[in-house]
Amino acid sequence: MNSNSKQPLVFLVLGMAGIVAAVVFNEWTIAAWLSYGGSLRLFDRVAIWMVDFILVGGGVMLIRKRRAIRMGKAEFLLLCGTLGILLVGSEGAARILDRAHGNDFLQNKQRAERGIIPFRMFGPDFYAMEDGMRYIVGRHGEKFPFEKKEGVFRIVAVGGSTTQNLVDGMHYPLRLQELLSEMYPGRTIEVINTGNSAYATPHLIVLLSLDVLSWDPDLIIASENINDLVAAYFPDFALDYSNKYTHETFLPQRSFTEALFGWSRLYWVIVSRMEALSYRMLEARDTVYTRRSYGNEPPPEAKAVFRRNWETFVDIARARDIPVILASQPLEPSEHYWNLHMRYKKYNTVAVYPLHEEFLLHHATFNATIKEVAHEKGVFFVDNAAVFAGERTLFSDFVHYTRAGIEELANQYATFIDRHHIINHEL
C-alpha cells in the first residue's frame, strides 16, 4: 500500500466488513447452518458469540484507528497472511463441525459431479466389487451378496425419499429386517433399501426390470405417490414425466466455481446460505411458489399414467412370480408441514401447485389408485395412510418420517408379513 491517503478508506471498509461478517454472515449464515432449522446447541452458540466478539471488536478498532494506522508492504503482507490463515481455519472448522453434526461435506462435491445414470437418470450405484465378487449395496451402504445364499429370504424395498428416509442411522427396511429376524429366528432375512429421493414410478419400473429381478427377491415392497403427483403440476405434462425430470434440479449442473472450489466445505456452506437468501427474497415478494385451482380431482391424464405405471410394475414382478406389497403413502395434512418440505424447491418457479385442500384430495386419489391396482392385480396392499392418520409425531415434514414414523412403518410391514404367512418359519 503506497498511497497513505487511501489507507483510512481501506481500513474503514475492512472494519465495516468485519462488523457485517459478524452480524450477517456469522449470525445468520453460520448460525442458521449449524442449527439445521432448530435451536443452536450451547457449545455452538458460545463459539459463534466468540467469533462475533472478535469480528465486531476488530471492525470497531479498525474504524476508530483508521487514520492512525500506517501500513507498509510488510504489514500488508502480514494482513494477507492473516486473512489466509483465517480462511484455512474456517475451512477446518466447517469440516469438523459438519462431521460433528453427522454430515459429510464430500457429499456436496459428489452430488455436483454426478453423471447421468443410464435409464434411471440419477441415483446411487447399487453394486460393489470385493475380492472378485459382486455385492448389492443398499441405499445406506449395507452390502448383500449378489448371489442369494440358500435359506435367505430376500425383500427389496423400492420407492422415493420416503423409502430412503434415514433418521439417527435407521431406515424402515433396516428396522424391518431386524423385526423379521426376531420373528423368524430360523430364517436369514435380508431387506434391501433401494429408495432414492425424487424417484417416481418410471424409475421403479426401470430399477425392477434392470436390477431387482436379477437379485432373486422373495418379496418386493413398493410405495410411491408424491413424486408422480408433482409431475402433474409441471407445465406440458408428458407421459414419461420428462416435463418434470428435464428440470435442472434433476440433471448435473456443474459450474466453474464448483469445479474450482467444490472441494471446500466452506464453499458449500456459503452456497447453501446464498440459496436461502434467494428464497428469503422470494418470500419478501410472496412468490415462493404459485397455486391455482385444479379442482378436487388430479389431472385425468396424470392419474391414468400413474395407474398404468403401477400396473406395469406389478405385471413385471408377477411374470417372475414375485410377491408384491403395494402400499399407500402417509401424509401430514397441514400446510405448515407442506411448507417444511416444499417451500424451497428449486423447481417452484416452474411448477404450479393446486390449492392445499385440493392437493390433499389429489394425493388421496393417487393412494386410492394404488389400492385399486393392488386389488385388481391380486397383490398385497398395506394402507399406511390410514394407519398413520396424519399423526404429527410420526412426520418430520408432510411426507417424511421421524424416528417414530420409521418404527411405525417397519412394524406395519412386519405385522402384515407375519399375518399373511409370507415367510415360512422353517425351510
Query: CA-CA distance, 272 to 29, in Å (whole number)?
Result: 9
Domains annotated on the chain, with CATH: 4-103 (no CATH), 152-419 (3.40.50.1110)
Nearby residues of 425 by Cβ (< 8 Å), 6 or more positions away: 184, 186, 187
All residues at 6 or more sequence positions from 423 whose CB lies less than 8 Å from its CB, including other chains = 153, 180, 184, 187, 189, 218, 417
* Residue 168 backbone dihedrals phi, psi, to 5 degrees: 55, 40
Mean pLDDT of successive 10-residue stretches along the chain, which has 427 residues: 65 77 59 47 65 77 77 73 74 73 65 76 92 95 96 98 94 98 96 97 98 98 98 98 93 75 76 65 68 97 99 98 98 92 86 97 98 98 95 94 97 98 82
User: Among candidates 116, 102, 126, 107, which has minimal Cα distance to 195?
Assistant: 126
Q: Give the per-residue pLDDT at 35.
A: 46
Instruction: Please write the tens of the pLDDT for every residue from 341-386.
Output: 888 788 998 999 999 999 999 999 999 999 999 999 999 999 999 9
CA distance 191 to 398: 26
Residue 4 in contact with residue 70, Cβ under 8 Å?
yes
What pLDDT does 18 receive? 73
pTM of the predicted model as reported, rounded to 2 decimal places: 0.79
Contact 188, 152 (CB under 8 A): yes
Task: List the grid coordinates of 224.
Answer: 410411491
Rounded CA-CA distance 427/151 in Å is 7
- The three-point CA angle 409-411-416 to 5° equals 100
Range list of H helices, 196-346: 201-210, 226-231, 242-245, 256-261, 265-284, 300-319, 335-342
Alpha carbons 321 and 299: distance in angstroms, whole number: 33
Query: pLDDT at position 1, please?
Result: 46
Say what the pLDDT of residue 397 is.
Answer: 93
The full DSSP string for 178-191 is HHHHHH-TTSEEEE
| pLDDT, tens only, 177-225 | 999 999 999 899 999 999 999 999 999 999 999 999 999 999 999 999 9
What does the pLDDT read at residue 280? 61
User: Cα angle at 364 between 120 and 289, to 5 degrees?
Assistant: 70
CA distance linking residue 180 with residue 413, whole number of Å? 9
Rounded CA separation 136/143 (Å)? 6
